[in-house]
Amino acid sequence: MKSIAFACTILSIISLNWSVFTSENGGFSILSPAPLDLVTQRIPTQVGDIQLHTYTHKVQDSTAQVFQYSVTYYEYPEILIPSDSTEMVEQFFSETLLAIADRLDGEIIYSEPIASADFPSRLTRISYQGEDYALKNKMVLANNRFYLIEVFSTSNKLVDGDINKFIDSFKLLE
């Protein structure tokens, strides 16, 4: 019993090192275990260039079971995905998820719609590299912006606390 209490105390102390990261330009805040570094790139598309903004924290400890946290966002033309078209939004989420799984040569474990401040959102998990690794992500379409919140980890379920803490803390700024 004492070891359980000790473990909970240690986990609480470790959790205290997390802080709120806010991107005014990105219009979001999120609880993060470390500062997030920004990389911006232009992606040419048929409807013009899209500027992709990715905030990332890569864990330096090679023994860490959660090794990357990231938030990516970009603005898209309303004509591509009208927010009132449930069918187009679901198709966009499905195609995006399939592209991510394909890029990782992974398998979609689950994908489910979730409530997120009145904006279409989906929570997913992909297993890859022989089920040794997992990617859990949340996709949100809000005000002509697509947000992708991702956590890369080993498939060990013991790390789900940190994964969920990061993903569940994502908030849009008003």
Could you read off the pLDDT of 50-87 as tens digits, one per residue? 899 999 999 988 888 989 999 999 998 766 676 667 88
pLDDT at res. 6: 44
Helices (H) and strands (E) in the chain, counts: 3, 10
* Angle, CA of 122, 108 and 63, to the nearest 5°: 100
* Residue 148, amino acid: L
Domains in the chain, start-ordered, CATH in brackets?
19-172 (3.40.1000.10)
Encoded tokens for 31: 């609880």
**Residue pLDDT, tens place only, 9-59:** 444 444 568 999 999 999 999 999 999 999 999 988 777 788 999 999 999
Residue 110 neighbours by CB distance under 10 Å: 9
Burial degree of 113 (CB within 10 A; 0-12, 13-18, 19+)? middle
C-beta of residue 106 within 8 angstroms of C-beta of residue 131: no
pTM confidence score: 0.86
pLDDT at res. 45: 79
